[in-house]
A and B are shown apart, each in its own frame.
Chain A
């Protein structure tokens, strides 16, 4: 009887693994093998099995996430795609929303569409807004494109017609014709990949799906075969960007839904901690080597969205990427990590990131040829790391190189010594992250005050206190195993699938039978996908209407009962909308009509979540003595002092200590700022509270 559950997260540099076997957890990290990622996965699986003394046949479930699809888009290494679209609208992908993401950069570069114009092929056909045919599909004109597809050796075809989300008949007819002539080619329909209003987003999503589809399908089949060959017969599930899991067959059809699986895993990890700690309002702060990711988690559920941008070309700026309309866990990602480089601009202002030293050459203190100062260099110069013990002693840091780089790039232009320059860099990156969190909260119609922070990733525990102070946050949780948080998160994800469809309705003229037919069809579709992989586990169904005041630009999700709607439900919908609107924007707008733009149905298995509670009986407080002291400059006051240093491994539950202090571990350090108090919980997490005003 297989017993263990295994999660594998392929990132850019490392492939992380987490295995749970009863109450025991093992984690492992191996190098990613970009040419054949399944090799890294297999190496990691072997390593973690060895570590835990298990056999492949002991694995009952394997959950997998990968950045492969994202990287294929960023690096433009996907398939050669042709895009068949409505005549007259050949350039929707190129025109986008006709705006510039930076108002003041004359030399701005906009993202290139994934399909060049020569392969964007117009087909005479047209539907109106209700899906009625204004112009039938011209089959002869469509067939006339087929020789070009052959000549250009197109591997994948995307089909996107205007208003196809209301009536997919033309897209389906076109697929039949193309598939018959080119049976080996993969085909993506906009009415299946992203059946929602707004042609640019829908077509962009469909084309991106087509772009990664052959690559992802090949990889997933290879992986499946290799796992079977090593004797691992367990079902394999893929992590979706929306936070659910799906089987390999669905993943092969809609690989675009896998793009943000790693960060989604991190958010689920944080959400699980939030529930287990009884924290109802959380800001998760995941700071890694090149980026920091911030996600708001209310009542144990990460915030979700239906829109995402991939492959931003303009320094992480909103609007500089390719839009994808898929269910995602909503988070803000900014170019601020340990490797982010510092510089001084024409106004004498310190800037940090988004340019990054990456893993190679890395920060100057790595001594691998990096000559520009990074955030890690600044942390070292402030005394926050022990140069000898960094990364468990495997990567001793060179403070002299960090100092030289810091003085050259920041200190000299501003007449600051290395320590003050480092302080400026750290303050600036903390301010940048805090400001990103503020704007993200506002854009989401949420507040950040009074939240608890869950800090993880290599940099989260180092920068958590100061970022929290800037946001008025008074409690921070630093979990154990923070380095492989995404993989652990995979183990907490439900098997689920979300279907979204546009069907425009005004509440005043609500077409009840049409909406009920639509919702039931969506529920059946989602349930079928989930049933294929959930082996009879119990399902939950959630239905949502995306509503707004007539003519407004922004929709608000309003929950619907998961059953056939009655006329009374529709009446209640107006009140539910106004209540939700008032909650987000302070006051409803009297006398306005309300319209529904689209509906979603999510079906997912019930996950045995940690109970929503804190520790029932906190462990008895102990007050350990520090292992040593270290000279640290406080970034808030600028004062240098001897800080107590504790080794995390030596702290037992109940251990309590007051800042300023550092709790060191192999993967990272947790900084306890002046005025903060830290306590180790029963689960081995660090619970930080701010004592002073």
Chain B
């Protein structure tokens, strides 16, 4: 009965009821995501939050996505469900079935991301699908890093298969899974956790349908899609229509990589063409197209319609044309393990286009790609201990670290904060407890924030050694060293990154390298770009930055045209003179 009146859609009580159910559906997927965080084994999920979760209709259209999670999975996971349905049509699915893949081209872009899809039943009828994605710690192969020359070297490849059939684990699948990883217990546990969290979602969905006396999700889906589509299109309609071009450069692996975009804002849609983007790399920095769409979409959405929940309809007005043969449309079997290094520059690229349309709503370029050093030591780096030389215990760890974000129109950028990624870092004390490493330094990097009316966020300086300063190795995945984050509207670039040894030697930004005995790895993380002319920044803020040691007196004078007195306080008269003498 309820279903009929809902389709009428005019009854005020029904309208309110539909809003309540929409909120409930978002709570259901949030519960799904929280279940994963509580039960997953990989620290990448539990501590860092590298995951996503959502509910879909039987046509594979996403209805709601958990707020908890990281943007890289936004609509790459959303696209993935359609691939599952093509291989396993909805009518073949049974209660207790779970399907899995880590195919970079059918999932979220590299083998480390597992995607699990599970059917949800209510009163014996298939009503929807739950999907989730999580980044696991190990999937065999070379390990997380750029060195693979094809996806076959990058780890265990799982096509779309049924991992549980009517509640029974697929024993052969789990045999292969355990054999293909360095961490079999954790990986198997993670797969169980992903299936369990979809089960939790499906249970709640059935309860919700019961409470609201619904047979299926169709009327609610129609309501969510209509409202979301309408609101997204209205947000787009507020933008000045036109075509806007931008480019951004990555350091690449073997050579610099150009990412180019032409964004066309129409009356009710936004189309992006990536023509002009560099070709493929022979190493694992290539980006599968779904991952490109995910981060490009995030970059647009965060500016244009940040408050509208993610679903099929709110993402539908954004379309991407990604030419074949470019690094953003990697075909199988190109290596893609660290596709985030390039992919995480896409929001900056999108904002480069949008800046021409709505300059006050975008941020300057930031450090953007995470600076996560995978560190390895012990016998696999230095061989067996010989003679009476001390040896390190074997270890393999990764820590998450971020440079500065770009300045915002009304606020400074954020110091040492992840953007666009949504992950969290781990404490140094915890890292030192699990591996024989010493972090000698991890603090903000003065003068790294791009100067501007609003300043870019500061990068960091990190100095890492092994216990006893013994030999260890770093599988570098860094960027923004040859190409600093740029400012906007006259704001200056943030400081470029630097990778080297404490003794002064420079290291490559990408690839496996040794830190010899007696040496330490020294990382300078980039700062964000500034926004607006530095000489228009409030002199009191500049003086405060100098007092706090994040801007040097020389930079205050030369970049901001701000003079300080002997005590370090603002010298207002001298500042005025400086600014008159050197306008901008």
In this assembly, does B443 line the interface, its C-beta being within 8 Å of a C-beta of chain A? yes
Chain B residues contacting A427 (CB-CB under 8 Å) are 16, 20
In this assembly, does A549 line the interface, its C-beta being within 8 Å of a C-beta of chain B? yes
Residues A89 and B433 in contact in the complex (CB < 8 Å), given A109-B411, A118-B547, A350-B19:
no
- Rounded to whole angstroms, the CA-CA distance of A432 and B548 in the bound complex is 42
Contact code string B396-423 (vs A, CB < 8 Å = 1, else 0): 0000111000001011001111110011
Contact of B417 among A110, A197, A350, A420 (CB under 8 A): A110
Once the chains bind, are B12 and A420 in contact (CB under 8 Å)?
Answer: yes
- Rounded to whole angstroms, the CA-CA distance of A91 and B35 in the bound complex is 33
- Rounded to whole angstroms, the CA-CA distance of A118 and B548 in the bound complex is 5
Chain B residues contacting A470 (CB-CB under 8 Å) are 211
B308 to A, closest residue via Cβ: A347
Q: Which of A120-163 contact B (CB under 8 A)?
A: 126, 128-129, 134, 162-163
- Rounded to whole angstroms, the CA-CA distance of A592 and B186 in the bound complex is 9
Once the chains bind, are B414 and A110 in contact (CB under 8 Å)?
Answer: yes
In this assembly, does B27 line the interface, its C-beta being within 8 Å of a C-beta of chain A? yes
Residues A200 and B408 in contact in the complex (CB < 8 Å), given A347-B228, A438-B31:
no
Q: Which of A416-434 contact B (CB under 8 A)?
A: 416-417, 420, 423-424, 427-428, 431-432
In this assembly, does B182 line the interface, its C-beta being within 8 Å of a C-beta of chain A? no
B403 to A, closest residue via Cβ: A98
A592 to B, closest residue via Cβ: B185
Once the chains bind, are B41 and A90 in contact (CB under 8 Å)?
Answer: no
Once the chains bind, are B442 and A89 in contact (CB under 8 Å)?
Answer: yes
Contact of B235 among A95, A346, A431 (CB under 8 A): A346
Once the chains bind, are B301 and A104 in contact (CB under 8 Å)?
Answer: yes
Name the residue among B35, B41, B43, B363 with the largest chain A CB count within 10 angstroms: B41
Contact of B185 among A109, A346, A435, A591 (CB under 8 A): A591
Chain B residues contacting A103 (CB-CB under 8 Å) are 67, 69-71, 422
- Rounded to whole angstroms, the CA-CA distance of A587 and B185 in the bound complex is 13
In this assembly, does A538 line the interface, its C-beta being within 8 Å of a C-beta of chain B? no
Once the chains bind, are B38 and A445 in contact (CB under 8 Å)?
Answer: yes
Chain A residues contacting B230 (CB-CB under 8 Å) are 347
- Rounded to whole angstroms, the CA-CA distance of A198 and B47 in the bound complex is 13
Once the chains bind, are B429 and A349 in contact (CB under 8 Å)?
Answer: no
Once the chains bind, are B423 and A99 in contact (CB under 8 Å)?
Answer: yes
Residues A553 and B43 in contact in the complex (CB < 8 Å), given A99-B417, A348-B227, A431-B23:
yes
Once the chains bind, are A94 and B438 in contact (CB under 8 Å)?
Answer: no
In this assembly, does A692 line the interface, its C-beta being within 8 Å of a C-beta of chain B? no
In this assembly, does B428 line the interface, its C-beta being within 8 Å of a C-beta of chain A? yes
Residues A198 and B427 in contact in the complex (CB < 8 Å), given A345-B307, A551-B434:
yes
Name the residue among A89, A109, A551 with the largest chain B CB count within 10 angstroms: A551
In this assembly, does B243 line the interface, its C-beta being within 8 Å of a C-beta of chain A? no
Once the chains bind, are A104 and B417 in contact (CB under 8 Å)?
Answer: no
Once the chains bind, are B22 and A349 in contact (CB under 8 Å)?
Answer: yes
B19 to A, closest residue via Cβ: A349
Chain B residues contacting A201 (CB-CB under 8 Å) are 427
- Rounded to whole angstroms, the CA-CA distance of A308 and B550 in the bound complex is 30
In this assembly, does A35 line the interface, its C-beta being within 8 Å of a C-beta of chain B? no
- Rounded to whole angstroms, the CA-CA distance of A589 and B414 in the bound complex is 40
Chain A residues contacting B416 (CB-CB under 8 Å) are 91, 94-95, 98
Once the chains bind, are A552 and B41 in contact (CB under 8 Å)?
Answer: yes
In this assembly, does A54 line the interface, its C-beta being within 8 Å of a C-beta of chain B? no
Chain A residues contacting B550 (CB-CB under 8 Å) are 117
B434 to A, closest residue via Cβ: A551
A493 to chain B, nearest CB (A): 30
- Rounded to whole angstroms, the CA-CA distance of A549 and B188 in the bound complex is 14
Name the residue among A117, A199, A345, A586 with the largest chain B CB count within 10 angstroms: A117
In this assembly, does B15 line the interface, its C-beta being within 8 Å of a C-beta of chain A? yes
Chain A residues contacting B440 (CB-CB under 8 Å) are 88, 126
Contact of A98 among B13, B31, B418 (CB under 8 A): B418
Contact code string B195-221 (vs A, CB < 8 Å = 1, else 0): 010001000000100010000000000
Once the chains bind, are A442 and B38 in contact (CB under 8 Å)?
Answer: yes
In this assembly, does A504 line the interface, its C-beta being within 8 Å of a C-beta of chain B? yes
Chain A residues contacting B433 (CB-CB under 8 Å) are 129, 197, 504
Contact of B467 among A92, A128, A420, A431 (CB under 8 A): A128
Residues A638 and B303 in contact in the complex (CB < 8 Å), given A99-B422, A346-B235:
no
In this assembly, does B566 line the interface, its C-beta being within 8 Å of a C-beta of chain A? no
In this assembly, does B34 line the interface, its C-beta being within 8 Å of a C-beta of chain A? yes
Once the chains bind, are B13 and A638 in contact (CB under 8 Å)?
Answer: yes
- Sorting the interface of chain B by its residue count into under 10, 10 to 19, 20 to 34 or 35 or more gives 35 or more
Contact of A346 among B189, B302, B308, B434 (CB under 8 A): B308
- Rounded to whole angstroms, the CA-CA distance of A103 and B207 in the bound complex is 29
Q: Which of A586-606 contact B (CB under 8 A)?
A: 586-587, 589-592
Chain B residues contacting A128 (CB-CB under 8 Å) are 432, 438, 467
Once the chains bind, are B419 and A100 in contact (CB under 8 Å)?
Answer: yes
B227 to A, closest residue via Cβ: A347
B216 to chain A, nearest CB (A): 21
- Rounded to whole angstroms, the CA-CA distance of A421 and B87 in the bound complex is 46
In this assembly, does A97 line the interface, its C-beta being within 8 Å of a C-beta of chain B? yes
In this assembly, does A414 line the interface, its C-beta being within 8 Å of a C-beta of chain B? yes
Contact of A199 among B200, B429, B547 (CB under 8 A): B429
Once the chains bind, are B231 and A89 in contact (CB under 8 Å)?
Answer: no
In this assembly, does B57 line the interface, its C-beta being within 8 Å of a C-beta of chain A? no
Chain B residues contacting A554 (CB-CB under 8 Å) are 38, 46
In this assembly, does B430 line the interface, its C-beta being within 8 Å of a C-beta of chain A? yes
Once the chains bind, are A117 and B427 in contact (CB under 8 Å)?
Answer: no
Once the chains bind, are B427 and A106 in contact (CB under 8 Å)?
Answer: no
Contact of B186 among A163, A198, A420, A551 (CB under 8 A): A551
Once the chains bind, are B429 and A198 in contact (CB under 8 Å)?
Answer: yes
In this assembly, does A575 line the interface, its C-beta being within 8 Å of a C-beta of chain B? no
Contact code string B9-47 (vs A, CB < 8 Å = 1, else 0): 000110110011011100100110011001101010011
Contact of B430 among A109, A197, A423 (CB under 8 A): A197
In this assembly, does A107 line the interface, its C-beta being within 8 Å of a C-beta of chain B? yes
In this assembly, does B424 line the interface, its C-beta being within 8 Å of a C-beta of chain A? yes
In this assembly, does B278 line the interface, its C-beta being within 8 Å of a C-beta of chain A? no
Contact code string A549-584 (vs B, CB < 8 Å = 1, else 0): 101111000000000000000000000000000001
In this assembly, does A229 line the interface, its C-beta being within 8 Å of a C-beta of chain B? no
- Rounded to whole angstroms, the CA-CA distance of A345 and B235 in the bound complex is 13
B553 to chain A, nearest CB (A): 14
B12 to A, closest residue via Cβ: A420
In this assembly, does A585 line the interface, its C-beta being within 8 Å of a C-beta of chain B? yes
A435 to B, closest residue via Cβ: B27
- Rounded to whole angstroms, the CA-CA distance of A39 and B361 in the bound complex is 49
Once the chains bind, are A420 and B13 in contact (CB under 8 Å)?
Answer: yes
Once the chains bind, are A549 and B41 in contact (CB under 8 Å)?
Answer: yes
In this assembly, does B448 line the interface, its C-beta being within 8 Å of a C-beta of chain A? no
Once the chains bind, are B443 and A89 in contact (CB under 8 Å)?
Answer: yes
Once the chains bind, are A439 and B425 in contact (CB under 8 Å)?
Answer: no
B433 to chain A, nearest CB (A): 5
Chain A residues contacting B423 (CB-CB under 8 Å) are 99
In this assembly, does B234 line the interface, its C-beta being within 8 Å of a C-beta of chain A? yes
B115 to chain A, nearest CB (A): 19
- Rounded to whole angstroms, the CA-CA distance of A94 and B425 in the bound complex is 13
Contact code string A384-424 (vs B, CB < 8 Å = 1, else 0): 00000000000000000000000000000011110010011
Contact of A198 among B400, B422, B430, B441 (CB under 8 A): B430
Chain B residues contacting A432 (CB-CB under 8 Å) are 23
In this assembly, does A443 line the interface, its C-beta being within 8 Å of a C-beta of chain B? yes
Once the chains bind, are A118 and B549 in contact (CB under 8 Å)?
Answer: yes
Given A106-B362, A554-B38, 13 more A-B residue pairs with CB atoms under 8 Å apart are: A91-B415, A98-B424, A106-B303, A107-B408, A128-B432, A197-B427, A200-B427, A420-B12, A424-B16, A431-B20, A552-B41, A553-B43, A638-B12
Q: Which residues of A contact B (CB under 8 A)?
A: 88-92, 94-95, 97-100, 103-110, 116-118, 126, 128-129, 134, 162-163, 197-201, 345-350, 414-417, 420, 423-424, 427-428, 431-432, 435, 438-439, 442-443, 445, 470, 472, 504, 549, 551-554, 584-587, 589-592, 638
The 4 closest A-B pairs by CB, nearest first: A553-B46, A88-B441, A117-B548, A435-B27
Can you identify 10 A-B contacts, CB atoms within 8 angstroms? Answer: A89-B442, A99-B417, A106-B361, A162-B428, A200-B427, A347-B230, A423-B13, A435-B23, A438-B31, A442-B31
